Structures are given as C-alpha cells and as structure tokens.
Amino acid sequence: MSLEVDFKKAADDVRKLKSKPADDEMSEVYSLYKQSVVGDVNKADPGAADELAKNKWDAWNKKKIGMSKDDAMKAYIVKSKEMAAKYGVDS
C-alpha cells in the first residue's frame, strides 16, 4: 500500500478506538495528523483562555521544525497502530 492509503486507514482506525486515549496521546496523534495534512502550524496561538485549543496548538507547533508531511504521516501510522493495540478498534 502507499503511504497515503496507510495514513487514511490509520486515521480511520483512530476514529474507531474502543476507549478514549489519554490526553497526551490525543495531543500527539492530533499534532501528527495536522502536520501530515496541513504542514507547519498556520494559525495564531489561541492563548490560554481555551486550554484544549492551546494544548492542541502547542503540540502541533512542536512539529514544525524539521518534520516533513511524509515523516509526519509515517509517525502518525506508527502511533495509531500503538493506540489500536492498546485501546482496540471497533470494526
């Protein structure tokens, strides 16, 4: 399979996890997804008023230095497989 096909399957599996992962795992997978699809963070820092948005932005912003879209996709696939093994995936 191609990288993009593997990535799309991994994204689908993450949406079907049987239980909710820890916040740090969700931040990591979110940041890898955004880096894969969008590239470097392209939004302003939302500030501390919205803690969830701030945490997601911070996680994504850490990926911008030196992580290509392809590298982010590969890392996302690995992380999604770890999460699927840990939490299970609904069919």
13-62: pLDDT as tens digits: 999 999 999 988 998 999 999 999 988 888 888 888 888 888 888 888 88
8 A C-beta contact, residue 36 and residue 80:
no
Which residue type sits at 82? Answer: E
Domain 3-87 listed as CATH 1.10.132.50: no
Angle of helix 69-87 relative to helix 3-15, nearest 10 degrees, comes to: 40
For the chain, give every domain's residue range. 3-87
Quick check: 64 pLDDT over 80?
no
> Mean pLDDT across the stretch 80-87?
96
As to burial, measured by CB atoms within 10 angstroms (0-12 exposed, 13-18 middle, 19+ buried), residue 59 is buried
**pTM of full prediction above 0.85:** no
For residue 32, the model assigns a pLDDT of 94
